[in-house]
Chain A
Amino acid sequence: MTLLGLSARNALRNRLRTGLTVLAVAVALVAFVMLRTVVWAYTIAGDVAANDRVVSRHKVTFVMLLPKKYAAQVAAQPGVSQVTWANWFGGKDPKHDKEFFAALAVDPATYLDVYDEMKVTPEEKAAWQADRRGCVVGDVLAKKLGWKKGDRIVLESQFIQGQFEMHVSAIYTATRKSVDRNTLIFHWEYMNEAAGPVRDQIGWITSRVKDPARTADIGRAIDKAFDDNDVQTLSQSERAFNQSFVGMFSAILRAIDLVSVVLLGIMMLVLGNTIAMGVRERTQEYGALRALGFLPKHLVLFVLGEAVTIGVAGGVLGLALSYPIVERGMGRFLEENMGGFFPYFRISGGVAATAIALSVLLGVLAAVVPAWQTTRIKVVDALRRIA
């Protein structure tokens, strides 16, 4: 038996109360892990972006277009090894008009080389490039809409009149977790034929650079090349480009952060209430321990040890519950239905470690006031309650 062991065993005195507190902490922790995972999954696109790609877009706003001829000029920049481009098509399947997914009109000759984390076989790639009406679909999107390789599908655009008939040339998978497997890509020329007033315009240009350490310099050089043109560019590393999207939702992310803090506060109050009740009930016993020679610091250790034990038990239970709830339930649903925002919805190691560390920290914080109260116990008054 040790002093620390004794403090941990104190948690077992009122098993029902301890059990309910552990459960309450666990529930709060599951909610915390969910929210943190939402934030993490949303921002991961920036964190795991390729470090050798530069994205160039209209300097004013992402929704304004660039002349297609810019792609060749970007490709001519020193240090650029490959270039591709794409347009946001705003497509949807009229048969599934409630299903949102990203549909991009891309350059078939280069897109899958620059975005080589989208995996198809060489034969499929060649077949797609040869078929002007071919498209490549993410495996999650294909499963969701019931599309198979060889299927004929029809898309409508939010921006361009008419229906676009396509053939599913390939289903891609991903080799990097940031890739949205909910996307459809098809031939830019096919869209351009019907583009009308925005003909020969492209949404953005993605360049692959030879030396990832020079990404920022090359981005600046690209922008400088168009400085004197009517349409100027803003070039960013892919990471910065992705993070600019995250920034658009920063208010929501801050709100989630705030709710996370509130949850932690609730967790601490639940834990603190349980510890405070235990301390109040044991005032006489603490008086007896002091009479036996225990010092206030020993009583503080007992209270802190008990609080941390309950906090960690709640944290471990909460984390154990979080994995099936977040990864198998919520995560699968979000990846399949909101893959554009959450391509990879899993509990990160950092979130898991933070959850456990916070359960320890909150246990300590919850015990501060009750522990301080034990140091103020007057032995004679505490013992008088006995007689």
Chain B
Amino acid sequence: MSTQIEVRKVVKSFERGGQTLRVLDALDLQIEEGSFDALMGPSGSGKSTLLNLIAGLDRPTSGEVIVAGASLGQMSEAAQATWRSRTLGFIFQSYNLIPVLTAQENVELPLLLTNLSSAERKRRSETALRVVGLEQRMGHLPRMLSGGQEQRVAIARAIVNDPAVIVADEPTGDLDRQSADDILTLLQKLNTELGKTILMVTHDPMAAERAKTVHRLDKGRLA
């Protein structure tokens, strides 16, 4: 197993009201390829900030973040966006599906950034929906789906471009217990059967139990 995500001496500070707020404090973290890790911690502990740095959505004040062999700090913003579209799958707490697109079209969305033909994009998005068990809901708009089903569509969208890493920010935060269990089972399946490296931020201890490794953050450091 090789290291898929490496965080080296990362510091992230924000200016707030004339004061410097150090959210991540010389943090080191390594996540192996094919692992399923959870990041836990109280509000303000820096877990979402760390996830943003790993996803290439933000830059550290100092230190280095290397994901799937790419050092993100040396990339331009456009290069980071292209890298994200090829390497990362995102799962958000609020699903962020486009309401005027069907489930299949929502899943197809990241593939619009590729050179794939329309037929190939459709085929891949349908396959992704089959993986998450929504082959019967391909033509449904998001408003016709339950919260759990919407999150499944979002997971299909996250895997449609076959990413090396999936990052999930509170993926069960808006779901009832049963739907949350279903989503976590699906994430486990993506990890074990498809070998995806998953990093999940969560407040929920029951969700964290499904991960292979749990990292606890407190005041910008791993506890």
Chain A residues with CB under 8 Å of chain B are 1-3, 6, 9-10, 12-13, 284-285, 288-295, 298, 379-380, 383-384, 386-387
Contacts and interface: CB of A to CB of B under 8 A. Distances in A.
B213 to A, nearest CB: 23
B57 A386 contact: no
A6 B85 contact: no
Q: How large is the interface on B (under 10, 10 to 19, 20 to 34, 35 or more residues)?
A: 20 to 34
B112 A1 contact: yes
B105 interface: yes
Contact of A293 (B101, B113, B121): B113
**Closest 10 A-B residue pairs measured CB to CB?**
A293-B85, A288-B96, A386-B94, A9-B100, A293-B84, A379-B57, A380-B58, A291-B90, A292-B110, A1-B105
A12 B94 contact: no
Interface string B201-223: 00000000000000000000000
Contacts of A387: 48, 93-94, 169-170, 173
B82 A284 contact: no
Contacts of B100: 9-10, 12-13
Given A292-B84, A386-B92, A2 B57 contact: no
A293 B75 CA distance: 14
Contacts of A293: 81-82, 84-86, 110, 113
A110 B54 CA distance: 93
Question: Which of the listed residues A292, A379, A387 has the most CB atoms from chain B within 10 Å of its own CB?
Answer: A292
B20 to A, nearest CB: 18
Nearest to B114: A293
Contacts of B81: 290, 293-295
A9 B101 contact: yes
B96 A285 contact: yes
B98 A291 contact: no
Nearest to B110: A292
B179 interface: no
Contact of B57 (A1, A10, A380): A380
Given A9-B101, A12-B100, 13 more contacts: A1-B108, A6-B101, A6-B112, A10-B100, A291-B92, A292-B84, A292-B109, A293-B82, A293-B85, A379-B57, A386-B93, A387-B93, A387-B94
Question: Which of the listed residues B52, B98, B110 has the most CB atoms from chain A within 10 Å of its own CB?
Answer: B98
A292 B100 CA distance: 18
Contacts of B94: 284, 386-387
Interface in B156-214: 157, 169-170, 173
Contacts of A13: 99-100
A373 to B, nearest CB: 17
Contacts of B48: 384, 387
A295 B112 contact: no
A298 B81 CA distance: 12
Nearest to A288: B96
Contacts of B96: 284-285, 288, 386
Contacts of A288: 90, 92, 96
Question: Which of the listed residues A293, A383, A384 has the most CB atoms from chain B within 10 Å of its own CB?
Answer: A293
Contact of B78 (A9, A289, A295, A379): A295
A177 B52 CA distance: 70
Contacts of B10: none
Contacts of B169: 383, 387
Contacts of B103: none
Nearest to B90: A291
B55 interface: yes
A284 B96 CA distance: 8
Interface string B121-141: 100000000000000000000
B183 to A, nearest CB: 16
Interface string B68-86: 0000000000100110111
Contacts of B101: 1, 6, 9
A290 B77 CA distance: 11
B57 A3 contact: no
A116 B82 CA distance: 72
21 contacts: A1-B101, A1-B108, A1-B112, A3-B112, A10-B100, A12-B100, A13-B99, A284-B96, A288-B90, A288-B92, A290-B81, A291-B84, A292-B85, A292-B90, A292-B110, A293-B82, A295-B78, A379-B58, A383-B52, A383-B57, A387-B94
Contacts of B121: 1
Contact of A294 (B86, B93, B105, B113): B113
A10 B109 CA distance: 14
A290 B110 CA distance: 10
Contacts of A298: 113
A375 to B, nearest CB: 11
Contacts of B113: 293-294, 298
Nearest to A282: B98
B173 A291 contact: no
Contacts of A386: 92-94, 96
Contacts of B108: 1
A383 B96 CA distance: 10
B98 A6 contact: yes
B78 A291 contact: no
A60 B93 CA distance: 83
A288 B97 CA distance: 9
A221 to B, nearest CB: 71
A295 B99 CA distance: 20
